Chain A
């Protein structure tokens, strides 16, 4: 039977991949639901095997299937969506894929596929090295947390490993709340075993035998795929007792969030796993010392954990040589919003923002000029085209008052209303604040009101002064980055687009 590959991730399915797969099945094909390669602009990207490698057909609609089948997928068929050999597609060729290297080649829930492409070699290495040297390896790689704060992973693990405790936990932060980001989702839907292997290695390194994945409820398909992958890992003895005859025990449980952005903050997340309100905890104690159920806990982002197997398999030096300066390795950036070729772009740190949005993104979807780009999620700055030559690494972005965060890049064209974006920053904080501290809980509401007054032309000068004051109160007085960084996008918008804040029709 002829094989055809139709991706099963959320993005592909959101534009009809399930119906396309059904139609191929009806036409007598064996349909393999592979992972998505992350080029959302090509989805659904249907592939077939050829002697030279996989050949793809992009943006296939259910009604296109009959035509493809009738023409026997011939390259000379009058079919406009033929993208040729996958390995020759520029968008992929120009990336430096490490954790997403085989996404799309494999069936995401097949252990055999994962092993065929080098899966579990990191675990094998970690078992050889033992706990302490595994931590050292992660430390030496320079890996920094991909959830937003970019804290060195090795230091966190070392802190937790040093503590004696009856029970420790590994918690994976899969809450991915930032608008414009989807790399965690894609990893879980295209290469979930990398996350499972990363959690195993972390468990071995710190001495934990239980892991939780805290997954946001907005990702039901991730839950399905992850659940299948975990079940297959148990069956193949890569989870459970005496894993691969190593003496190592490890179990993983998925917990589903309930639509609260703040539960991505690590201590709020811990409360949520414990069945409580997702209120932020004061630090210290650090979770690495006193975390879930009061026990030492490592909390890492999906991408952080999924980066670990490769580091072990290929060595710390290999990983540390990638990237630029103190930003080692690669980051799967996410091109989103009003962009022509949106999707996941995994490259080494150091590429400029312009290269990413022009070379990869191809400009705006609408075809209009770019007005600004928001980098790093709702708590990240809006970047003006004048700053597009900034290299994408943690330090260079900090230098322009920006942040890389989780690597989300949202493109806005010249029709965007920047005052409305600033207003949204406060609205979002108002809705999503956990309510524990006043600068954030009250500040978000007041900030929105001040912007409303300014745009209505009321006491503009005094209100700008008040806003400055409020920024300072929120930045200095908030318990966590939700309140502390909400001023960041607003400040960046004021810096570049101040004249848009006052309704031109109103008199000052």
Chain B
């Protein structure tokens, strides 16, 4: 099938598929590459990926929406990803979330594997342990 709609990220998406040899079993990796580049997986890319991998758009849609990691629009720049699994809960992560929500976009993750230094957060792909409001504010200020 020929994709007629043209959009700015087409070349990037094409190269992501090519980097994975257009293999259907590499679909998650393709999404990861696109998201690393653009910050999200554009809805417009679904058909293009489907064509490249010779699968249906429904397959692409089904997979991209199954996994929590992938989003179809850009994340806010002031996003903090906060662990809300049990070890972090025991150290007050729920309360911390409420505190942070006043000034930041807070995303939930279930465990960062840093459970002995709870509560934990992830910012820009880096994990921070023993966090509290002050420390996270300082990290965000330094990074933004």
A454 contacts B by Cβ under 8 Å: no
Query: Please, how many angstroms separate the alpha-carbon atoms of A258 and B26 in the complex?
Result: 12
Interchain CB contact (< 8 A) of B87 among A185, A343, A410, A420: A410
Say how far B10's CB is from chain A's closest CB, in angstroms: 21
Task: Select from chain A the residue with minimum beta-carbon distance to B86.
Answer: A179
Interchain CB contact (< 8 A) of A276 among B63, B83, B90: B63
Q: Is the CB of B86 within 8 A of A11?
A: no
Interchain CB contact (< 8 A) of A258 among B70, B88, B110: B70
Q: Is the CB of A14 within 8 A of B87?
A: no
Q: Mark B9-47, 1 if CB is under 8 A from A, else 0.
A: 000000000000001111111011000000000000000
Query: Please, how many angstroms separate the alpha-carbon atoms of A286 and B59 in the complex?
Result: 25
B66 contacts A by Cβ under 8 Å: yes
Say how far B116's CB is from chain A's closest CB, in angstroms: 3
Query: Please, how many angstroms separate the alpha-carbon atoms of A365 and B116 in the complex?
Result: 10
Interchain CB contact (< 8 A) of A335 among B59, B68, B112, B116: B116
Chain B residues within 8 Å of A43, by CB:
117
Chain A residues within 8 Å of B115, by CB:
179-182, 334, 336-337, 342, 408, 410
Stretch in contact with the other chain, from A130-138, A239-247, A411-419, A445-453: A411-419
Stretch in contact with the other chain, from A107-115, A214-222, A313-321, A351-359: A214-222
B111 contacts A by Cβ under 8 Å: yes
A178 contacts B by Cβ under 8 Å: yes
* B interface secondary structure, majority: mixed
Chain A residues within 8 Å of B23, by CB:
275
B73 contacts A by Cβ under 8 Å: no
Q: Which residues of chain A in 178-220 are interfacial with respect to chain B, using CB atoms and an 8 Å cutoff?
A: 178-182, 184-185, 217-220
Chain B residues within 8 Å of A261, by CB:
110
Q: Mark B89-122, 1 if CB is under 8 A from A, else 0.
A: 1110010000000000000011111111110101
Q: Which residues of chain A in 37-91 are interfacial with respect to chain B, using CB atoms and an 8 Å cutoff?
A: 40-41, 43
B8 contacts A by Cβ under 8 Å: no
Chain B contact patch, size range: 35 or more
Q: Is the CB of A272 within 8 A of B90?
A: no
Q: Is the CB of A411 within 8 A of B112?
A: no
* Given A218-B111, A273-B25, A428-B110, A14-B127 contact (CB < 8 Å): yes
Q: Is the CB of A177 within 8 A of B110?
A: yes
B62 contacts A by Cβ under 8 Å: yes
Query: Please, how many angstroms separate the alpha-carbon atoms of A410 and B68 in the complex?
Result: 25
Q: Is the CB of A182 within 8 A of B26?
A: no
Chain B residues within 8 Å of A412, by CB:
90
Query: Please, how many angstroms separate the alpha-carbon atoms of A342 and B31 in the complex?
Result: 36
Q: Mark A256-299, 1 if CB is under 8 A from B, else 0.
A: 11111100000000001111111100000000000001000000
A339 contacts B by Cβ under 8 Å: yes
When A and B form their complex, what is the total count of cross-chain residue pairs whose Cβ atoms lie within 8 Å? 158
* Given A179-B115, A273-B25, A378-B86 contact (CB < 8 Å): yes
User: Number of contacting residues on A, CB 8 A?
Assistant: 63
B7 contacts A by Cβ under 8 Å: no
Q: Is the CB of A255 within 8 A of B91?
A: no
* Given A337-B118, A410-B86, A176-B91 contact (CB < 8 Å): no
Chain A residues within 8 Å of B31, by CB:
258
Q: Is the CB of A221 within 8 A of B86?
A: no
Chain B residues within 8 Å of A410, by CB:
86-87, 90, 115
A421 contacts B by Cβ under 8 Å: yes
A478 contacts B by Cβ under 8 Å: no
Q: Is the CB of B62 within 8 A of A277?
A: yes
Q: Is the CB of B117 within 8 A of A342?
A: yes
Interchain CB contact (< 8 A) of B111 among A14, A15, A181: A181
Q: Is the CB of B87 within 8 A of A180?
A: yes
Say how far A86's CB is from chain B's closest CB, in angstroms: 18
Q: Which residues of chain B in 65-88 are interfacial with respect to chain A, using CB atoms and an 8 Å cutoff?
A: 66-70, 83, 85-88
Task: Select from chain B the residue with minimum beta-carbon distance to A14.
Answer: B129
Chain A residues within 8 Å of B32, by CB:
217, 256, 258
A10 contacts B by Cβ under 8 Å: yes
A228 contacts B by Cβ under 8 Å: no
Q: Is the CB of B110 within 8 A of A179?
A: yes
Query: Please, how many angstroms separate the alpha-carbon atoms of A460 and B90 in the complex?
Result: 27
A–B complex contacts, Cβ < 8 Å, 30 sampled: A10-B112, A40-B114, A40-B117, A41-B116, A176-B111, A177-B110, A179-B87, A180-B115, A182-B115, A218-B122, A220-B125, A255-B28, A257-B67, A258-B67, A259-B109, A260-B67, A273-B25, A274-B24, A275-B27, A275-B28, A277-B62, A336-B115, A337-B86, A343-B116, A344-B116, A378-B85, A408-B115, A410-B87, A420-B94, A421-B86
Having A182-B114, A272-B28, A374-B86, one finds 4 other A-B pairs with CB under 8 Å, namely A258-B31, A275-B63, A278-B67, A336-B87
What are the 7 A-B residue pairs with the smallest beta carbon separation, nearest first? A179-B85, A342-B116, A258-B67, A14-B129, A40-B116, A336-B115, A337-B90
